[in-house]
Amino acid sequence: MVVLFLGAGFSVPSGYPCTSDLGRKLLETPADSRDVRIEKFISITIAKFWEKVFAWRRGMTQPSLEDHFTQIDMAVKSGHSLGPDYDSTKLHAVRKLTIHRILCLLRKPKGLPDDTAHELLVRLARTFELTTITTNWDTHVEWILDATMPSIPFNYGGEEQGREVEPEGDVSLLKLHGCVNMSYCDCCQQRTRLDYGSPQAAIDYELLLDPCDFRLLGADAAVADILKRNHLRERLSECRVCGAQLSVPVLTFTYRKDLDKFRGVWDVAKTALQLADRWLFVGYSMPEADVEVRHLLKSTQLAHTDRATPLIDVVLKGDCEAGQRYQRFFGLPCERVFQDGIVGWVAERLDDYCR
């Protein structure tokens, strides 16, 4: 069994933005937005929040995503305000608008090629019992599995409302930080895959946007009414079981992550890591701030009864600092850390790995 652990570096060669680009582009209005007025209001709202909370001005370095979300999440969870202008209700609205903007930036690039990422994933899926674990929000893996002929079935590692989950023979796709393709009901605690003709349904049908949030943050009636006219959004955002409002749960770029809604996926990931005799990391830098992920990896590594397993390989792209983190954390020899990127690794080592 192989666990393929993916970070942003897996998707970047296919045209998805890297994490640092997300922060820089946060105030840009997406060119393919459903309505420019809505997206412009989101840009203005985020900019106003930075001005009030971080004393940010145009031309200055933007606040990091970690600071942006950490301050919001800690205040919302405690019910506190950030200054006189942002109580917890407004902060929750800003949080949803920010997540919507990031998900828009993570749309599938047009003309996504049949690239190296496709070759890597399909070869591994057809050679091994494969579990893919990722910290990415994007749907790059889903597009690859669906586009393969014949398509490769996958599951999200747990019960999904209205769907029979047959893990045997499927690729388990475990998204530790959440997924744009899943919704969650806070009332009946059901998870639902959003297969409404697009694995980006949360973006396409604006499930994170609520007219009440727009009015709360100062939008005029014309902008808020644009969302009210989206009757499909209203219908799809209701739970099929109890009728309550659905959310799109994701773990944001914070230093203190709340894993409560993700325990099921994390438990499945822990089991997969314990059972696998190989771990292959691609494009994941294992930053020091990912303390929960690092603990998951270390605890499951030490839970292996055979100290020769798991066999760990790391694929990075010229990231010497990340390479050193892997060597220190797992005690890896330098030859297990490949620094020429996914394209080089697939060309030079994939055949040997699949034998």
Q: What is the mean pLDDT of each run of 10 residues along the chain (355 residues)?
A: 95 85 86 79 96 94 93 92 95 94 83 77 94 92 86 79 57 89 79 62 74 90 72 64 79 83 91 96 92 96 90 96 97 95 94 94
Compute the distance between CA of residue 224 and CA of residue 219 in angstroms, rounded to an integer. 6
* Residue 233 confidence (pLDDT): 58
Whether 269 contacts 133, CB under 8 Å: yes
pLDDT at 256: 78
CB 220 within 8 A of CB 207: no
Query: Please, is 241 exposed, middle or buried when counting C-beta atoms within 10 Å of its C-beta (0-12, 13-18, 19+)?
Result: middle
- The pLDDT of residue 169 is 60
DSSP per residue, 201-243: HHHHTTTT--HHHHHHTT--HHHHHHHHT-HHHHHHTB-TTT-
Distance CA 344, CA 328 (A): 24
| pLDDT score of 277 | 95
| Distance (Å, whole) CA 157 – CA 137 | 16
How far is CA 170 from each of CA 22, 131, 154, rounded to the nearest angstrom?
Answer: 32, 9, 5
Contact indicator for 242, 188 with CB cutoff of 8 Å: yes
In this prediction the pTM is: 0.89
172 contacts 131 by C-beta, under 8 angstroms: yes
pLDDT (0 to 100) of residue 339: 97
Q: What are the start-end ranges of the H helices in the chain? A: 8-11, 19-24, 36-54, 65-78, 88-105, 116-127, 140-147, 201-204, 211-216, 221-228, 231-236, 263-275, 291-302, 320-330, 341-353
Helix (H, G, I), strand (E, B) or coil at 19: helix
- 3-state DSSP percent of the chain in helix, strand and coil, to 5: 45, 15, 40
- Reference 96, options 213, 191, 211, 186; nearest CA is 213
Instruction: Report which DSSP code applies to 331.
Output: -
Of 184, 222, 175, the residue nearest 202 (C-alpha):
184
- Determine the distance from the C-alpha atom of residue 299 to the mean position of all C-alpha atoms in its chain, rounded to a whole number: 23
Query: Which residues have CB under 8 Å from 276's CB, separation 6+?
Result: 1, 2, 3, 131, 310
Q: What are phi and psi of 132, to 5 degrees?
A: -105, 125
